[in-house]
Amino acid sequence: MRAATAALASPLMEIVFLGTGCPVVSTERYGPAQLVLGQGAKVLVDCGSGVTQRLLAAGAPGRDLDALLLTHLHSDHLVDLYQLIVSSWHQGRDRPLPIYGPPGTRRYVEGLMALWEPELSLRIAHEKRPSIEALKIAVTEIAAGQSLSLGGLAVQVVEVDHQPVRHAFGFVFEEKGERLVLSGDTRRCAALVAAARGADLLVHEVFIHREMPVIPGVRSAETVASVASYHTLSDEVGKIAAEAGVKALALTHFVPPACDRAALLAEVAADFGGALILAEDLLRIDLTARRVAYGSAVLALGGGDVTAVSR
């Protein structure tokens, strides 16, 4: 009985969408962040605006994270890093947070900590907490093709195409035959399609062109074209999932955050016949149990085999 409870509490592979938005401020879709759970490990991918509140709501405070993975160094993906570090410490974290990110991550993290050093020194001296280990950040810069083991969870780093951003990664998580692929920010990219081939779930960003009109004083036609050029359009993403032959596709990083969901679903479903999910903040997909949970609703993901469900 005890073992069964523990197994339920530690799914073999689950993703929790913490923030499904982009740099555009939204009260519904916070900045990009997702939590991947596997074999007891908790890995945070990106830490956009509002991530610490969402982690708490997801029942996984920053204190408990095994690692932070960064897809790239665009502000929407890492703007809450300092808040994550300090709030994790306040929650009683007593070990450093390992951060894995592209070249430039060490410079960014060292600069961030240097910027806050006077504030942090004052806090440490004044608050007299039992440990300051949580404030000793361990950065590892990663490269495409690299394999990582984060808290026992196997991760493969894939180079994606988000030019002019020089280093942008997608990630492949693999656990006991379950394969979860995260696109990060990318335009249509052959390396990602190859990495995602046959995956149980592809989590992909999306840019919805018709929802991004020119607004005088806010964005020009050139702005829209430039931003669209390093993202994946809504009429491409279903084709990518179909080409990769993935079993399920979940869309996130909605640009813009507010969109006609039914129209988007119909557009993508025209190209991709597998399970299709438009992610929301705090939606969870459990690949082992093959179910999707959002609020109090639980849906069967379908497409699983009997051995996967009964394991």
* Interface contacts to Zn ion, rule CB under 5 A: 74, 76, 185
> Which of 76/80 has CB closer to Zn ion?
76
Residues 6+ apart with CB under 8 A from 207: 227, 228, 231, 232, 233, 234, 255
Question: Three-class SS of residue 31?
Answer: coil
> Which of 164/295 has CB closer to Zn ion?
164
In the sheet that holds 169-175, the strands lie side by side as: 147-150, 153-159, 169-175, 178-182, 201-207, 248-255, 275-278
> Which of 54/74 has CB closer to Zn ion?
74
The 3-state DSSP composition of the chain as helix, strand, coil percent (nearest 5) reads: 30, 25, 40
Shortest CB 81 distance to Zn ion, Å: 15
Nearest residue to 98 via CA among 63, 139, 39, 62: 139
Locate all alpha helices (DSSP H) within 41-167, ordered by sequence: 51-57, 81-90, 105-127
Chain length of the chain: 311
Instruction: Output the furthest CA–CA distance in the chain (Å, rounded).
Output: 62
Per DSSP, the chain holds a count of helices (H) and strands (E) of 9, 16
Specify which residues 156 forms β-bridges with.
147, 172
> Which of 76/281 has CB closer to Zn ion?
76
Shortest CB 80 distance to Zn ion, Å: 14
Q: How far is CA 135 from the centre of its chain?
A: 23
Shortest CB 241 distance to Zn ion, Å: 19
Q: Which contacts of 298-305 are long-range, i.e. CB under 8 A and separated by 24 or more positions?
A: 301/248, 301/275, 302/275, 303/247, 303/248, 303/274, 303/275
> Which of 93/167 has CB closer to Zn ion?
167
- Residue 209 Cα distances to 169, 223, 271, angstroms: 23, 12, 17
> Which of 157/292 has CB closer to Zn ion?
157
Shortest CB 178 distance to Zn ion, Å: 26
260 is catalytic: no
Nearest residue to 233 via CA among 211, 261, 201, 217: 211
Shortest CB 32 distance to Zn ion, Å: 5
Catalytic residue among 76, 80, 200, 271, which?
76
Shortest CB 6 distance to Zn ion, Å: 36
Residues with catalytic function: 76
